[in-house]
């Protein structure tokens, strides 16, 4: 983090300290950039014309000699882009419509250095703080402020780059060399004219008939990372290409955006942030939205939207018992968990009218579920978009203060209302306002921080409120059950923490970014205990909120909060493809056999126990000859009477996976005794041998079921068969013989 940012943060700390009691409003981050944008969208051609005015500052400690922008829509420009090659033209089961490609084109990028503007005399508010002063409104087709006249146009030096794969057909990242480097702390202002063609809805963005979802739709500045940030050695741009299996990474800024559409969209436009105004003029409607402290801006419009508005009111919508319960776990006064009111706006398809209340309830469940545990949602609005049939490719996606959902009319039919898909998508997408809306991790490089942490909290919040994610035909599965089920047999082919585009398949990306890390966090919760774990997670969130943490930053907070070293766990769970599976392989428990053979007594005298049918050894007395009476007492058939020979119990536990984990094994005996043994789990197997007066009933690995990463819980325990009577033994032998006979006849037949 650079100088200005550090000063910004110090300022924030001071403000936070002055702000009074704990639980006061969360301060939004100081902007790295301010954007004022104007875009007019024509649903007939599904094209938009835009102007983006952006004031960007170098918050690093190194000079910046070029600017880099994402031009995401070019992922859909042809079938040779890195996205299209990687996805095979489909994402989440939805195919790209090859008759409706999308693209984005920068027409002009005029540049002014802040220092030059200052020399020419800045307006006072701009001179005082260029990042508090508003930008001139941007309206396509209207001339901007004269300050750009005669300035250089970076379009002339635009160059597409492919930092990840060198694919020359990929035009999703462009670099614009600057005429002279931008010193640390210095700022520039750009006026970018662009046009874009929305694709047919695909991979979160595009248009379907009258419905439009503007995601990744404007030239988006990359992140210039300072040395030391997320472990990097030297300062530089982090601007990845758009890949099939990756989401995004961006800095925080303040947005002010005006959208222009045909008048029939009036009242049916939604976007990131607060709506400042909506005006109809002739046959167009202009809606203006603003939001500070966010790293992206998305919008939507559909003349058929049904608008449902509600409000999250912490006084009414947070049950006191729930807040107190969370406060107890976190060990903080309940006052510290105070949440803020939020205006919720749901843009719903008329066919899903019957599900409005389900979406709304889920939004409130999520607002309090995440907010109490991690910290208040700091924004005033939440906009929820329900895409139409044919537009599902835009569903299930998160943008700051703006999420897209998805449901089906069938889910309002009695019997299917407890298939909680609309609830879980709402909770999940809302949760992304925390991970990565506020955490703003690098989703290209470490998707699990975003998807994995969010999936963990989704399960916590869903299961706490609804109990079951699916309750159908008498079956019930929680969200967490579904995560665990996805681990399958644990044949991972990738690590949890690795670049999103480097997974073997999209399935492997999904498994390692969502379910596996979610289950890993639950495992960690059980290792640390819920109190320590939730405190650590809250501390991680609040320490790194608005600051782009890496996996290593997460690990160091967990290590600091953990009473013992956890590197062995974190290394295997996050940085290896090892799966965890311990199993009880065999259990045996039987009476110690009667002594038979030659034994020496305390005086060193040899004596024979049992009988011989041949002469005894030379030079020894004929033992046993005078003691036959004693041995007769040990004749078979009488052994059950008053027998105090102990039971010898042997349990073998196997390590079937590569993941090495300390293991507890619980042994239960017929006299009711329970005994726990621990094992460091390193070797491939271990044998426990116990001598006790009672016979073993069962042996179980991980009796408290804390090792949630264990991919086969069914092999964790074994019961010993009851001792068989002689008749039962005969039956077993007969069955074995018959089986062999059948097997043989089957082969012959």
**φ, ψ for residue 746, nearest 5 deg:** -65, -40
Q: With respect to Zn ion, which residue has the nearer C-beta, 451 or 700?
A: 451
- How many other CB atoms sit within 10 Å of the CB of residue 11? 12
Give CA–CA dist 465/185, Å, rounded. 47
Are 676 and 704 within 8 A, CB to CB? no
Q: With respect to Zn ion, which residue has the nearer C-beta, 199 or 517?
A: 517
Are 349 and 268 within 8 A, CB to CB? no
Rounded to the nearest whole angstrom, what is the least distance from the CB of residue 365 to Zn ion in the complex? 17
Are 376 and 197 within 8 A, CB to CB? no
Give CA–CA dist 275/614, Å, rounded. 104
Task: Write out the DSSP string of 587-617.
Answer: EEEEEPPPP-EEEE-TTS-EEEES--SS---
Q: With respect to Zn ion, which residue has the nearer C-beta, 189 or 451?
A: 451
Residue nearest to Zn ion (CB): 451
Rounded to the nearest whole angstrom, what is the least distance from the CB of residue 247 to Zn ion in the complex? 8
Rounded to the nearest whole angstrom, what is the least distance from the CB of residue 505 to Zn ion in the complex? 18
Q: With respect to Zn ion, which residue has the nearer C-beta, 193 or 443?
A: 443
Q: With respect to Zn ion, which residue has the nearer C-beta, 317 or 451?
A: 451
Give CA–CA dist 710/654, Å, rounded. 13
Rounded to the nearest whole angstrom, what is the least distance from the CB of residue 431 to Zn ion in the complex? 8
Q: With respect to Zn ion, which residue has the nearer C-beta, 451 or 494?
A: 451
Q: With respect to Zn ion, which residue has the nearer C-beta, 214 or 517?
A: 517
Give CA–CA dist 215/43, Å, rounded. 16
Rounded to the nearest whole angstrom, what is the least distance from the CB of residue 705 to Zn ion in the complex? 27
Rounded to the nearest whole angstrom, what is the least distance from the CB of residue 122 to Zn ion in the complex? 42
Interface pattern 443-462 for Zn ion (x via CB under 5 A): --------x-----------
Rounded to the nearest whole angstrom, what is the least distance from the CB of residue 545 to Zn ion in the complex? 18
Give CA–CA dist 229/671, Å, rounded. 60
Q: With respect to Zn ion, which residue has the nearer C-beta, 386 or 458?
A: 458
- How many other CB atoms sit within 10 Å of the CB of residue 543? 11
Rounded to the nearest whole angstrom, what is the least distance from the CB of residue 517 to Zn ion in the complex? 12
Dihedral angle, C-alpha 602, 607, 609, 613, nearest 10 °: 170
Q: Is 720 left (phi over 0), alpha (psi -120 to 50) or beta?
A: beta
Rounded to the nearest whole angstrom, what is the least distance from the CB of residue 118 to Zn ion in the complex? 43
Q: With respect to Zn ion, which residue has the nearer C-beta, 110 or 522?
A: 522
Are 238 and 225 within 8 A, CB to CB? yes
Rounded to the nearest whole angstrom, what is the least distance from the CB of residue 398 to Zn ion in the complex? 6
Q: Is 490 left (phi over 0), alpha (psi -120 to 50) or beta?
A: left
Q: With respect to Zn ion, which residue has the nearer C-beta, 8 or 396?
A: 396
Rounded to the nearest whole angstrom, what is the least distance from the CB of residue 419 to Zn ion in the complex? 19
Give CA–CA dist 266/286, Å, rounded. 8
Across the beta sheet with 663-669, the strand order is 674-679, 663-669, 696-701, 717-719
Interface pattern 301-340 for Zn ion (x via CB under 5 A): ----------------------------------------
Rounded to the nearest whole angstrom, what is the least distance from the CB of residue 454 to Zn ion in the complex? 6
Give CA–CA dist 135/139, Å, rounded. 12
Rounded to the nearest whole angstrom, what is the least distance from the CB of residue 519 to Zn ion in the complex? 16
Q: With respect to Zn ion, which residue has the nearer C-beta, 258 or 433?
A: 433
Q: With respect to Zn ion, which residue has the nearer C-beta, 423 or 451?
A: 451
- How many other CB atoms sit within 10 Å of the CB of residue 634? 14
Q: With respect to Zn ion, which residue has the nearer C-beta, 260 or 451?
A: 451
Rounded to the nearest whole angstrom, what is the least distance from the CB of residue 450 to Zn ion in the complex? 7
Per-residue burial over 154-168, b = 16 or more CB atoms within 10 Å of its CB, e = otherwise: bbeeeeebbebeeee
Per-residue burial over 577-596, b = 16 or more CB atoms within 10 Å of its CB, e = otherwise: bbbbbbbbbebebebeeeee
SS (H, E, C) 422-481: HHHHHHHHHHCHHHHHHCCCCCCCCHHHHHHHHHHHHHHHHHHHHCCCEEECCEEECHHH
**DSSP strands (E only) in 474-519:** 475-477
Per CB under 5 A, contacts with Zn ion among 395-454 are: 451
Rounded to the nearest whole angstrom, what is the least distance from the CB of residue 399 to Zn ion in the complex? 12
Interface pattern 492-511 for Zn ion (x via CB under 5 A): --------------------
Of the CA atoms within 13 Å of residue 515, those in its CB half-sphere come to: 20
Question: Per the structure block, which two tokens stand in for 633?
Answer: 């007492």
Q: With respect to Zn ion, which residue has the nearer C-beta, 451 or 577?
A: 451
Per CB under 5 A, contacts with Zn ion among 528-547 are: none
β 342-348/381-385 pair status: parallel
Give CA–CA dist 126/112, Å, rounded. 14
Number of residues that bind Zn ion (CB under 5 A): 1
Q: With respect to Zn ion, which residue has the nearer C-beta, 433 or 649?
A: 433
Which residues of this protein are in contact with Zn ion, per CB under 5 A? Answer: 451
């Amino acid at each position: 983090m650079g100088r200005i940012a550090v000063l910004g943060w110090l300022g924030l700390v001071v403000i936070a300290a002055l702000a009074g009691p704990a639980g006061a409003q969360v301060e939004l981050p100081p902007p790295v950039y301010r954007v004022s944008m104007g875009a007019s969208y024509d649903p007939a051609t599904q094209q938009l014309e835009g102007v983006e005015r952006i004031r960007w500052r170098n918050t690093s400690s190194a000079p910046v000699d070029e600017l880099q922008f994402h031009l995401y829509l070019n992922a859909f420009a042809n079938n040779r882009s890195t996205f299209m090659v990687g996805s095979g033209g489909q994402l989440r089961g939805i195919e790209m419509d090859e008759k409706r490609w999308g693209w984005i084109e920068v027409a002009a990028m005029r540049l002014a250095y802040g220092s030059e503007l200052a020399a020419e005399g800045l307006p006072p508010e701009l001179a005082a703080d260029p990042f508090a002063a508003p930008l001139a409104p941007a309206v396509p087709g209207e001339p901007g402020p004269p300050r750009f006249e005669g300035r250089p146009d970076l379009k002339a030096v635009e160059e597409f780059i492919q930092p990840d794969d060198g694919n020359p057909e990929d035009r999703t990242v462009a670099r614009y060399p600057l005429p002279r480097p931008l010193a640390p702390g210095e700022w520039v202002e750009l006026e970018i004219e662009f046009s874009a063609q929305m694709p047919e809805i695909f991979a979160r963005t595009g248009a379907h008939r009258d419905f439009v979802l503007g995601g990744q739709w404007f030239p988006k500045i990359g992140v210039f990372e300072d040395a030391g940030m997320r472990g990097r050695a030297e300062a530089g741009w982090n601007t990845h290409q758009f890949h099939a299996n990756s989401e995004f990474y961006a800095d925080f800024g303040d947005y002010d955006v005006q959208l222009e559409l045909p008048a029939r969209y009036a009242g049916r436009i939604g976007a990131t942030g607060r709506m400042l105004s909506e005006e109809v003029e002739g046959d167009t409607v202009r809606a203006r939205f603003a939001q500070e402290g966010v790293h992206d801006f998305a919008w939507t419009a559909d003349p058929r939207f049904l608008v449902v508005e509600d409000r999250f009111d912490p006084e009414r919508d947070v049950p006191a018992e729930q807040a107190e319960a969370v406060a107890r776990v976190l060990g903080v006064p309940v006052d510290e968990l105070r949440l803020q009111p939020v205006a919720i706006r749901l843009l719903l398809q008329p066919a899903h009218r019957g599900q409005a209340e389900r979406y709304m309830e889920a939004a409130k469940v999520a607002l309090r579920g995440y907010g109490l545990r991690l910290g208040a949602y700091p924004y005033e609005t939440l906009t929820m978009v329900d895409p139409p049939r044919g537009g599902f490719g835009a569903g299930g996606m998160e943008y700051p203060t703006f999420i897209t959902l998805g449901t089906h009319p069938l889910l309002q039919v009695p019997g299917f209302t407890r298939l909680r898909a609309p609830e879980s998508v709402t909770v999940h997408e809302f949760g992304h306002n925390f991970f990565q809306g506020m955490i703003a991790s690098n989703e290209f490089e470490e998707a699990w921080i975003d998807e994995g942490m969010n999936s963990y909290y989704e399960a916590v919040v869903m299961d706490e409120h609804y109990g079951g994610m699916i309750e159908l035909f008498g079956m019930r599965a929680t969200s967490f059950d579904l995560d665990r089920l996805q681990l399958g047999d644990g044949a991972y082919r990738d690590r949890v923490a690795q670049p999103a585009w480097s997974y073997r398949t999209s399935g492997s990306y999904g498994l390692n970014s969502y379910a596996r890390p979610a289950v890993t966090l639950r495992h960690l919760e059980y290792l640390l205990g819920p109190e320590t774990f939730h405190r650590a997670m809250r501390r991680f969130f609040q320490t790194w909120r608005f600051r782009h943490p890496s996996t290593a930053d997460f690990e160091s907070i967990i290590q600091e909060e953990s009473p013992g070293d956890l590197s062995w766990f974190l290394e295997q769970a996050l940085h290896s493809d090892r799966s965890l599976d311990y199993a009880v392989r065999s259990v045996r428990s039987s009476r110690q056999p009667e002594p038979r053979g030659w034994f020496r007594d305390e005086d060193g005298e040899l004596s024979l126990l049992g009988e011989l049918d041949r002469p005894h050894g030379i030079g020894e007395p004929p033992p046993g000859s005078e003691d036959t009476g004693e041995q007769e007492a040990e004749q078979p058939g009488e052994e059950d009477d008053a027998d105090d020979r102990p039971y010898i119990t042997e349990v073998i536990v196997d390590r079937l996976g590569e993941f090495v984990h300390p293991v507890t094994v619980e042994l239960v005996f017929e006299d009711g005794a329970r005994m726990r043994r621990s094992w460091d789990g390193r070797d491939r197997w271990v044998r426990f041998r116990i001598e006790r007066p009672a016979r073993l009933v069962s042996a179980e690995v991980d009796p408290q079921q804390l090792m949630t990463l264990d991919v086969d819980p069914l092999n964790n325990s074994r019961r010993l068969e009851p001792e068989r009577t002689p008749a039962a033994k005969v039956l077993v032998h007969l069955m074995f013989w018959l089986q062999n006979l059948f097997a043989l006849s089957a082969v012959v037949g």
